[in-house]
Structure formats: structure tokens, C-alpha cells
């Protein structure tokens, strides 16, 4: 079989009888599984020697781009350095070998990590209590909305069916509200990129007693601080509804302002974004939910045991290593880095919303639209220069969105390198647009057909082989 054509799967490297393991001597005697639990045929596993396995996966990993390979300015997702000390802490055998059903008096240390992390989150957010159970940001949203539903039901006010979500919100916000059984009302943004108070007043007047909550992301998905939160909070609370804070990316707020002080009742934090856990490719994550006093009785049971405990350990290690004084620098540094890039590039990239941003901002493609070079082309060309692309085509408010988040822990040298390359690409778009449009030229795989991959996913190696033979 041609390995190049078939992507070099471990199954294709298999040769009957090859072994890459030696089993330890059996110390437990033979235990026969009941017949009905035994398979009839041997499992179809790849048979490879150890070096083949090591080289296969090492080569595959080298085809990947991660925060440890290079700058990764992915807006809204906060791909930042994950300190290796976090990994060491999470890998301590005293944590790693715990069993969730161990007697409580043998896991006091792990309990203390959970308690102390929750306490730190309360201090950082100004809320009263946290649950660590949710496995991700979206799971946290669902958990928080379940709290809000229970709260209204406890007051015999269960008819509140509507959740207000800004049009700039992350897609998980309306999705979580829908999964929780709410109907969604979208509130518009102003030309300035903030929640439109006029539109919100209209919604509140029309729907008042049917509103259960308003979800807000702050800084919002455009990287802007929602300056009208006091007015919004008053409008919403007057109707009897609660305020939900999407704190997936809390970096810019650390040391600057606290959701609890702004009047929010319920929030989630993405530990994997804000407090550093490697989370490429969909996990693992943790989305702890915090509530103001009196709401903790409504925490639902959304996962067994204590959620993704290893993520909690990493977050706590990160918080402890920064400490009370240095954690205050996270927000200002994230904000400084984002504004620096924005100001250095806004003469060649279209900046639809000017002014001070927080940890991230959005360009609407190249300023010179006559070259035909799109945001997709710029993103692909960046790979040739060793930079991961920013988030592209999100938020949906602009056609050519290019959403950049440098994070707080990049050096000025790295950021200047990125700025130079972004300017160079803008230059190439004028002088040699074809080179940008056909990028990437130096990666193992060029442009993939996203639509085909999404509509017709090939999920097993058998399917892959069958379709190519």
C-alpha cells in the first residue's frame, strides 16, 4: 500500500507477528472471563515493533502546530503558554493515582486543591461559591442556566422562558440556552460593537416578565469592554431576571475588575483558557460555575465526582505560581499586547472598530480589497512563516474577520516578528497575490476541503482504505 496516499496510518505499518511490548509476569493467577463476555475473533490491532510506533507518532506530532512550536494568536480561544510546572503537579502520583471511590479520609489533599481553587476563583471574580463539576465552557453555561432555571422555579416564577444573547456572542451561548430548554432573543450590537441599549430596552419592554436571564461576554467577542453594564444590569434585574457572565476568557479581567462587583449573578470560567491547560483539539477542559450568595443551593449534578480534576490542579498551580501580586499583571499585559499589534497593523489591515481593545481585536481582512487576497489566504500564508493563524471568519459581524489574541505571556520580540510577517503578507498581496492565494507552500498538507471533510467525514481507517481502493 502506498503510505503517502493513505496518510501513513499505524494500521498500514502493521506486519503480522511484530511485537512492541513485553507483558509483566502475571502475579494474579488466571481469571477467566465468562464466555458471553469474550470476543469470538481476535481484536484487529496493528502489530508493530516499538521503534516503528515511536517514529510513527513522533513524526505525526511534528506535523502539528502547537503553542510549544510557535506563536498561536487564536482569538477567543486563548492559546497561551502552559507552564510545565502545571504538568508536573498534575502528574504527581499522589494525584494521578487517585480513585474517585477512595475513602474520603485518604484524599484530603485532593479535596484541599478543590476547596482552595474555588476560594481563589471567588476572590478573583467577586462571587460567593463555585462548583468545579462542568467539563468545559459550554458545559458551564448549561450548568449556570440550570441554576437560573431552578432559581426562578423556587420563586414560583418558572414561566420565564427567554434568554437574551448579544449578536456578537460565542455560538455556545445560544446553543446552551436552547439545550437548557430556553428560547433565545438576540440583542443587537451598536456600530461601536457594544450591546445596543435601545434594542435591549425594546426587548425588556416587550418581554419583561418572560425573561429568565441575559448572557453577556465581557470583554465581548470583539475584545471590547461593555461599558454600559451598570445600565444593562439594572434593566435586567428590574424585570426579575438574572445576569449571566461568560468568563471563558477572563485573562483581561484578572486584576482589573470582577464580575461579582458588576452585578452578575452566575458565571463560568474556562480554566483551560484563562488559567492555562493545553486544550488543542477539543480538550480536556473545565468550566467551573460561580454564583452569588444564595444561589449555590441550586447547583445541579452535572458530572460524577469533581469534574476534570487534573485541569483544576493545573489552574491552581498557575494561580499559585503567579501569586496575588503577579496575577494582577495578567489583564494589563494581555491588553497591552493586543493594542500594540492592532496599532502596528491598522494601516494595512481594515480595523472596523477603532479604539482601545482588551485582550483581542478583529480586523476585517486587508485594507486594500483590490488584490482579491482574502482572510483565508492571509491565514494560510502565515503558516509558511511559522505562525499559527488567528481565528478567521468569526465573529460573523464582518465578512473577512481576522481575530487576533496575542495573550499576556508573549515577548515583545515574538510579537514584533508576527507584526513584521503580517506586514510582509500585506505587501505580497500587492506585489505577488498568487503566492498568497496558493499558500501554504511549506506545510505537509496544503489546503484541505473543509466542506467535504465536514459533510462527508472519513472516521475509520477501513473507510479510508475502502474509498481509495
Ligand X SMILES: *Cc1c(COP(=O)(O)O)cnc(C)c1O
Q: Binding of ligand X at residue 90 (CB under 6 A)?
A: no
Binder to ligand X among 74, 90, 214, 248 (CB under 6 A)? 248
Q: Phi/psi of residue 391, each to 5°? A: -70, 135
Question: Is residue 379 within 8 Å of residue 389, measured between CB atoms?
Answer: yes
Cis amide linkage into residue 440, ω under 30° from 0: yes
Q: Which is nearer to ligand X, 279 or 381 (CB)?
A: 279
Closest separation between CB of residue 279 and ligand X, Å?
A: 7
172 counts as binding ligand X under rule CB under 6 A: yes
270 contributes a contact to ligand X by CB under 6 A: yes
Minimum separation from the CB atom of position 285 to ligand X (A): 4
Within residues 13-32, the interface with ligand X by CB under 6 A covers none
Stretch that binds ligand X, among 33-41, 203-211, 243-251, 362-370 (CB under 6 A): 243-251
Least Cβ distance, residue 178 to ligand X (angstroms): 14
Closer residue to ligand X (CB): 77 or 165? 77
| Strand bridging mode 162-166 / 211-217 | parallel
Q: Scan residues 109-138 and list those touching ligand X (CB under 6 A).
A: 136-138
Candidates 152, 160, 170, 306; binder of ligand X (CB under 6 A) is 170
CB of 170 vs ligand X, minimal distance in Å: 4
| Comparison of 109 and 171: residue with beta carbon closer to ligand X | 171
Q: How many CB atoms lie within 10 A of CB 299?
A: 18
Among 132, 222, 224, 246, binds ligand X (CB under 6 A): 246
- 3-class secondary structure, 137: helix
Candidates 271, 259, 210; CA nearest to 232 is: 259
Q: Tell the smallest beta-carbon distance from residue 391 to ligand X (Å).
A: 10
Report how far residue 395's alpha carbon sits from residue 76's, in angstroms, rounded to the nearest whole number: 9
Q: Return the residue of 285, 288, 390, 406 that touches ligand X, per CB under 6 A.
A: 285
DSSP code per residue over 270-281? -HHHHTT---GG
- Report the alpha-carbon distance of residue 173 to residue 35 in Å, rounded: 48
Q: For the chain, give the number of residues.
A: 469
Q: How far is the CB of 148 from ligand X (least distance, A)?
A: 16
Q: Which is nearer to ligand X, 77 or 353 (CB)?
A: 77
Segment near ligand X (CB under 6 A); pick from 6-14, 29-37, 101-109, 245-253: 245-253
Is residue 74 part of the contact set for ligand X (CB under 6 A)? no
Q: Which helix (H) or strand (E) holds 129?
A: strand 129-131
| Best CA proximity match to 220, nearest among 31, 353, 57 | 353
Q: Measured in whole angstroms, how far is the alpha carbon of residue 166 from the centre of its chain?
A: 19
217 touches ligand X by CB under 6 A: yes
Q: How far is the CB of 334 from ligand X (least distance, A)?
A: 14
The CA angle 427-428-434, to the nearest 5 degrees, is: 150
Quote the CA–CA distance of 42 and 40 in Å, as a whole number: 7
Cα–Cα distance measured from residue 388 to residue 380, given in angstroms and rounded to the nearest whole number? 9
Rounded least distance, CB 249 to ligand X, Å: 5
Minimum distance from CB of 5 to ligand X (Å)?
Answer: 34
Q: Tell the smallest beta-carbon distance from residue 171 to ligand X (Å).
A: 8
Between 76 and 82, CB nearer to ligand X:
76
**Is residue 163 a contact partner of residue 214, using CB atoms and an 8 Å limit?**
yes
Burial of 456 (0-12, 13-18, 19+ CB in 10 A): exposed
Does residue 223 bind ligand X (CB under 6 A)?
no
The only residue of 125, 143, 196, 249 in contact with ligand X, by rule CB under 6 A: 249
Q: According to the binding rule CB under 6 A, does residue 252 interact with ligand X?
A: no
Binding mask 30-69 for ligand X (x = CB under 6 A): ----------------------------------------
Nearer Cβ to ligand X (380/395): 395
The secondary element (H helix, E strand) that includes residue 90 is helix 84-90
How far is 207 from 185, CA to CA, in rounded Å? 10
The CA-atom distances, in angstroms, between 87 and each of 81, 83, 93, 111, 311 are: 12, 7, 12, 19, 10
- List residues near ligand X by CB under 6 A: 76-77, 136-138, 170, 172, 217, 246, 248-249, 270, 285, 287
Amino acid at each position: 500500500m502506498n503510505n503517502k496516499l493513505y496518510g501513513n496510518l499505524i494500521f498500514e505499518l502493521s506486519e503480522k507477528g511484530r511485537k512492541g511490548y513485553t507483558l509483566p509476569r502475571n502475579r494474579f493467577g488466571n481469571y477467566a472471563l465468562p464466555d458471553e463476555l469474550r470476543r469470538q475473533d481476535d481484536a484487529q490491532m496493528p502489530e508493530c515493533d516499538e521503534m516503528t510506533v515511536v517514529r510513527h507518532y513522533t513524526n505525526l506530532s511534528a506535523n502539528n502546530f502547537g503553542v510549544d512550536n510557535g506563536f498561536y494568536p487564536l482569538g477567543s480561544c486563548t492559546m497561551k503558554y502552559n507552564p510545565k510546572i502545571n504538568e508536573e503537579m498534575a502528574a504527581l502520583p499522589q494525584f494521578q493515582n487517585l480513585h474517585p471511590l477512595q475513602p474520603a479520609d485518604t484524599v484530603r489533599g485532593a479535596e484541599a486543591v478543590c476547596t482552595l481553587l474555588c476560594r481563589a476563583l471567588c476572590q478573583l471574580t467577586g462571587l460567593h461559591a463555585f462548583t468545579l463539576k462542568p467539563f468545559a465552557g459550554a458545559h458551564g453555561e448549561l450548568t449556570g442556566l440550570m441554576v437560573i432555571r431552578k432559581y426562578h422555579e423556587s420563586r414560583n416564577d418558572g414561566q420565564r422562558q427567554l434568554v437574551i444573547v448579544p449578536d456578537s456572542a460565542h455560538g455556545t451561548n445560544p446553543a446552551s440556552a436552547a439545550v437548557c430548554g430556553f428560547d433565545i432573543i438576540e440583542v443587537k450590537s451598536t456600530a461601536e460593537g457594544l450591546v445596543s441599549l435601545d434594542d435591549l430596552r425594546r426587548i425588556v419592554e416587550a418581554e419583561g416578565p418572560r425573561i429568565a436571564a441575559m448572557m453577556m461576554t465581557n470583554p465581548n467577542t470583539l475584545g471590547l469592554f461593555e461599558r454600559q453594564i451598570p445600565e444593562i444590569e439594572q434593566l435586567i434585574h428590574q424585570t426579575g431576571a438574572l445576569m449571566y457572565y461568560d468568563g471563558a476568557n477572563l485573562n483581561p479581567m484578572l486584576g482589573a475588575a470582577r464580575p461579582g462587583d458588576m452585578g452578575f449573578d452566575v458565571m463560568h470560567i474556562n480554566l483551560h483558557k484563562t488559567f492555562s491547560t493545553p486544550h488543542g483539539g477539543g480538550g480536556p477542559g473545565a468550566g467551573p460555575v460561580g454564583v452569588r450568595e444564595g444561589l449555590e443551593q441550586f447547583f445541579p449534578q452535572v458530572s460524577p465526582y469533581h469534574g476534570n480534576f487534573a485541569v483544576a490542579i493545573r489552574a491552581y498551580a498557575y494561580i499559585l505560581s503567579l501569586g496575588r501580586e503577579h496575577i494582577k499583571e495578567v489583564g494589563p499585559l494581555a491588553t497591552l499586547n493586543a493594542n500594540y499589534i492592532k496599532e502596528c497593523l491598522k494601516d494595512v489591515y481594515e480595523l472596523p472598530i477603532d479604539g482601545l481593545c482588551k485582550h483581542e481585536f478583529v480586523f476585517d481582512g486587508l485594507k486594500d480589497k483590490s488584490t482579491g487576497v482574502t482572510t483565508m489566504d492571509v491565514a494560510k500564508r502565515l503558516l509558511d512563516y511559522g505562525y499559527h493563524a488567528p481565528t478567521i471568519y468569526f465573529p460573523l459581524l464582518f465578512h473577512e474577520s481576522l481575530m487576533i489574541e496575542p495573550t499576556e505571556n508573549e515577548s515583545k520580540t515574538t510579537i514584533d516578528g508576527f507584526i513584521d510577517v503580517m506586514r510582509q503578507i500585506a505587501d505580497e498581496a500587492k506585489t505577488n497575490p498568487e503566492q498568497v492565494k496558493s499558500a501554504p507552500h511549506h506545510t505537509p498538507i496544503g489546503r484541505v476541503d473543509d466542506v467535504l471533510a465536514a459533510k462527508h467525514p472519513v472516521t475509520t481507517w477501513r473507510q479510508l482504505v475502502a474509498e481509495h481502493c
